[in-house]
Homo-oligomer: A and B are copies of this chain.
Amino acid sequence: MYIPSFDDVLAAEARIKPHIRRTPVLQSDYLNALTGAELFFKCENLQEPGAFKVRGASNAVFGLSEAQAARGVATHSSGNHASCLSYAAMRRGIPCHVVMPSTAPQAKKDTVRRYGGKITECAPSTSAREETFAKVQAETGGDFVHPYNDPRVIAGQGTCALELNSQVPDLDAVIAPIGGGGMISGTCLTLSNIAPNTKIYAAEPDQADDAARSFRAGHIIADDAPETIADGLKVPLKDLTWHFVQSHVSDILTASEPEIIDAMKLIWKRLRIVMEPSSAVPLATILKNPDLFAGQRVGIIITGGNVDLDRLPWQ
A194-234 interface bits toward B, Cβ cutoff 8 Å, 1 = contact, 0 = none: 00000000000000000000000000000000000000000
Q: Which residues of B are found within 8 Å of A189, using beta-carbon distances?
A: none
Q: Which residue of B lies closest to A91 (CB)?
A: B29
* Contact of B46 with A29 in the complex, beta carbons under 8 Å: no
Determine whether the beta carbon of A272 is less than 8 Å from that of B315.
no
Residues of chain A at interface, number, CB under 8 A = 25
Q: Does A305 contact B (CB under 8 A)?
A: yes
Q: Is A50 an interface residue (CB 8 A)?
A: yes
Residue A36, interface by CB 8 Å: no
Is A46 a contact of B272 with CB atoms below 8 Å? yes
From known contacts A272-B274, A273-B273, infer whether A265 and B48 are also in contact, taking CB-CB under 8 Å.
no
Q: Does A28 lie at the interface of the complex (its beta carbon under 8 Å from any beta carbon of B)?
A: yes
Question: A268–B26 contact, CB under 8 A?
Answer: no
Nearest B residue (CB) for A50? B272
Provide the bound-state CA to CA distance between A101 and B102, in Å: 55
Name the B residues within 8 Å of A27 (CB-CB). 21
Number of copies of this chain that the complex holds? 2
With a cutoff of 8 Å between Cβ atoms, the chain B residues found around residue A46 in the complex are 26, 271-272
Contact A268 B50 (CB under 8 A): no
Contact check, A48 vs B28: say whether CB atoms are below 8 A apart: yes
Judge if A175 is at the interface, Cβ distance under 8 Å: no
B residues less than 8 Å from A26 (CB atoms): 24, 46
Q: How many Å from the CB of A290 to the closest CB on chain B?
A: 20
Q: Report if A268-B272 is in contact (Cβ < 8 Å); known contacts: A29-B48, A315-B315.
A: no
Residues of B within 8 A of A30 (CB): 48
Q: Which residues of B lie under 8 Å from residue A265 when comparing CB positions? A: 309
Contact with B along A85-110 (1 / 0, CB 8 A): 00000000000000000000000000
How far apart are A215's CB and chain B's nearest CB, in angstroms?
A: 31
- A161: Cβ under 8 A from any B Cβ: no
Asked if A272 and B45 sit within 8 Å, CB to CB, the answer is: yes
A66 within 8 A of B: no
Q: What 0/1 pattern do residues 271 to 315 of A give for CB contact below 8 A with B?
A: 111110000000000000000000000000000010001101011
CB distance from A57 to the nearest CB of B (A): 16
Most buried by B among A21, A24, A275: A24
Which residue of B is nearest A265, CB measured? B309
Closest B residue, CB atoms, query A276: B272
Tell me the bound Cα distance from A310 to B28 in angstroms. 21
Give 1 or 0 for each of A107-121: 1 = CB within 8 Å of chain B CB.
000000000000000
- Is the CB–CB distance between A314 and B309 below 8 Å? yes
Separation of A13 and B111 alpha carbons in the complex (Å): 42
Verify A272–B48 contact, CB threshold 8 A: no
Mark A residues whose CB is within 8 Å of B: 21, 24, 26-30, 45-46, 48, 50, 265, 268-269, 271-275, 305, 309-310, 312, 314-315
Give the 7 A-B residue pairs with the shortest CB-CB distance, closest first. Answer: A272-B305, A24-B24, A272-B274, A45-B272, A29-B48, A268-B274, A273-B273
Given contacts A30-B48, A272-B274, A273-B273, 13 further A-B contacts (CB under 8 A): A24-B24, A26-B46, A29-B48, A45-B272, A46-B272, A268-B274, A268-B309, A272-B273, A272-B275, A272-B305, A274-B274, A310-B315, A312-B312
